[in-house]
């Protein structure tokens, strides 16, 4: 592509192209013999591309065992893909530019604005600096705690690698692990250190960089933005509600919580409530959960994390806006009011658009896969929603997908990471100014 053509691309198209290029490079690297574990054959290019897509889109669905099938080189490649995918390739490019003391152009600021879902370019480079400082600091602190914890089980060198690797994976809501046999963190279901640190990483990565920046500036401003209040209140509500529902449904389930101590039950209930917020790690056997719990987790995965975060889904603010719209309509009110602030009408329209596109994608792909994959519809719906929400939780379908199934799940992960609207804007023809408007008409609703 000529440079002139590249300059004509809109920010959404540059984001789509950038992520696609990173996935392709990652797929090539992971298919090389050097990426295969000693004594193992390199995985196929399709499986390598699937793994690269899952890592770059910070999902965690895997067709190859990360801890068993990849060498240290392959695992480092996956970790770097997670970091670049979680923070965004434009954020990482800005880091390099800042280190080289290069000036950030207007066009680059526009792309950063789109990548972080900001309404304006004001202070965008300052926000990027904060994002990088907060992210790397949080990951470093968590890596040290994990290293100390795992130093009791592994040699110090391996404990340090595991600590750094899982700190990056958890903070970026990727859900990849190195413990092999697709176990995730199930062996640490009763471990408060691993559980609490992992949950803190997932929550901090999922609330969004804008919220983190707002919280860090609270001491000076003594005020939180409406966005931060909505994200924190919605996230807290969903986590507590999710933990309560999972605790009740799974308390006596012999395949999950049944054999655990009361502390283990509480920890696992909260962990499984936090992780559908696009993290993907699990301390309970997902396939062993009751169907009611599995369906409830599908709902949590569909909602996902918050805007400007490492997570996917329709986002907490979208969910809250829809609920606010429903409540306002039932009460006969004209405005959606949150924390004594009225939302503009276009916020509700955008929330409806995102939700409908997401719902259509999930339903359509689930219907397609139900004809190609010989598994229950709930299992297929769970896997598709997990891919769209960039969650990574699995009932065991991913490793047994057909070629067509792998391609569809890859596309879902890609769409989920970029967001339905960004993808729609990237695919639509160039906008043309409307020269006229049609007369208003009325139809009967409901």
CA distance 6 to 10: 9
Residue 279 reports pLDDT greater than 90:
no
pLDDT at 6: 44
Could you tell me what percent of the chain has a pLDDT over 90? 44
Of the candidates 108, 44, 125, 53, the residue with the CA atom closest to the CA atom of residue 84: 53
CA distance 402 to 50: 12
| Residue 353 domain flag | yes
| Residue 441 domain flag | no
| Residue 327 domain flag | yes
Q: Which residues of 250-276 are buried (b: 16+ CB within 10 A; e: fewer)?
A: beebeebbeebeeebbebbbbbbbbbb
Q: Supply the range of the domain harboring residue 104.
A: 13-425
Q: How would you classify residue 339: left for phi > 0, otherwise alpha for psi between -120 and 50, otherwise beta?
A: left
**Kindly report the CA angle at 196 between 192 and 201, in degrees rounded to 5?**
150
Q: Which residues contact 291 (CB under 8 A, 6 or more apart)?
A: 378
Tens of pLDDT, residue by residue over 145-156, are: 999 999 999 999
| Residue 442 domain flag | no
pLDDT at 114: 52
Residue 26 reports pLDDT greater than 50:
yes
Query: Strand, coil or helix: what is 394?
Result: coil
Binned at pLDDT 50, 70 and 90, residue 9 comes out as low
Binned at pLDDT 50, 70 and 90, residue 418 comes out as confident
| Cα atoms in the Cβ-side hemisphere of radius 13 Å centred on 49 | 14
R_g of the chain, CA atoms, integer Å: 22
Q: What is the mean pLDDT of residues 409-424?
A: 80
| Residue 106 domain flag | yes
| Residue 321 domain flag | yes
Residue 216 reports pLDDT greater than 70:
yes
Tens of pLDDT, residue by residue over 190-205, are: 999 999 999 999 998 8
List residues bridging with 70 in a β-sheet.
36
Looking at the whole model, is its pTM more than 0.85?
yes
CA distance 224 to 405: 44
pLDDT at 163: 94
Report how far apart, in Å, the C-alpha atoms of 373 and of each of 61, 213, 233, 291, 412 are: 16, 44, 39, 19, 16
CA distance 209 to 116: 8
| Residue 348 domain flag | yes
Binned at pLDDT 50, 70 and 90, residue 2 comes out as very low
Which position has the higher pLDDT, 309 or 34? 34
- Mean pLDDT in the chain? 84
Number of domains, the chain? 1
SS (H, E, C) 90-147: HHHHHHHHHHCCCCCCHHHHHHHHHHCCCCCCCCHHHHHHHHHHHHHHHHHHHHHHHH
The phi, psi pair for 139, rounded to 5°, reads -60, -40
Q: Which residues contact 109 (CB under 8 A, 6 or more apart)?
A: 121, 124, 125
| Residue 8 domain flag | no
């Amino acid at each position: 592509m000529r440079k002139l053509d590249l300059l004509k691309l809109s920010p959404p198209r540059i984001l789509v192209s950038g992520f696609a290029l990173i996935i392709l490079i990652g797929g090539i690297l992971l298919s090389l013999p050097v990426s295969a574990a000693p004594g193992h054959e390199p995985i196929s290019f399709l499986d390598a591309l699937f793994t690269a897509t899952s890592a770059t889109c910070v999902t965690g669905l895997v067709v190859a065992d990360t801890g068993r099938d990849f060498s240290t080189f392959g695992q480092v490649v996956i970790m770097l893909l997670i970091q670049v995918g979680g923070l965004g390739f434009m954020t990482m490019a800005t880091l390099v530019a800042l280190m080289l003391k290069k000036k950030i152009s207007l066009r680059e600021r526009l792309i950063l604005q789109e990548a972080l879902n900001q309404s304006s370019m004001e202070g965008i480079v300052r926000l990027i600096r904060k994002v990088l400082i907060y992210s790397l600091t949080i990951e470093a602190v968590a890596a040290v705690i994990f290293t100390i914890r795992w130093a009791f089980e592994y040699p110090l060198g391996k404990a340090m690698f595991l600590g750094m690797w899982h700190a990056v994976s958890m903070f970026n809501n990727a859900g990849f692990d190195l413990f092999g046999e697709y176990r995730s963190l199930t062996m640490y279901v009763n471990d408060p250190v691993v559980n609490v640190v992992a949950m803190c990483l997932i929550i901090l990565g999922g609330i969004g960089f804008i919220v983190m920046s707002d919280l860090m500036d609270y001491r000076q401003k003594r005020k939180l933005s409406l966005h931060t209040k909505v994200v924190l209140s919605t996230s807290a509500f969903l986590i507590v509600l999710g933990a309560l529902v999972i605790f009740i449904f799974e308390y006596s389930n012999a395949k999950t919580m049944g054999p655990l101590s009361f502390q283990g039950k509480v920890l696992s209930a909260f962990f499984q409530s936090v992780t559908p917020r696009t993290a993907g790690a699990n301390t309970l056997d997902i396939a062993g959960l009751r169907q009611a719990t599995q369906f409830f987790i599908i709902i949590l995965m569909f909602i996902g994390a918050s805007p400007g975060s490492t997570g996917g889904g329709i986002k907490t603010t979208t969910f809250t806006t829809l609920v606010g719209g429903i409540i306002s309509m039932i009460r006969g009110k004209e405005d959606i009011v949150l924390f004594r602030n009225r939302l503009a009408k276009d916020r509700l329209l955008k929330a409806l658009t995102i939700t409908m596109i997401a719902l259509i994608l999930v339903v359509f792909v689930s219907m397609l896969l139900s004809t190609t994959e010989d598994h229950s519809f709930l299992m297929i719906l769970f896997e598709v929603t997990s891919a769209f929400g960039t969650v990574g939780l699995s009932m065991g379908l991913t490793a047994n997908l057909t070629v067509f199934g792998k391609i569809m799940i890859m596309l879902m992960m890609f769409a989920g990471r970029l967001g339905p609207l960004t993808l729609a804007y990237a695919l639509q023809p160039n906008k043309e100014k409307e020269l006229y408007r049609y007369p208003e008409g009325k139809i009967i609703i409901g």
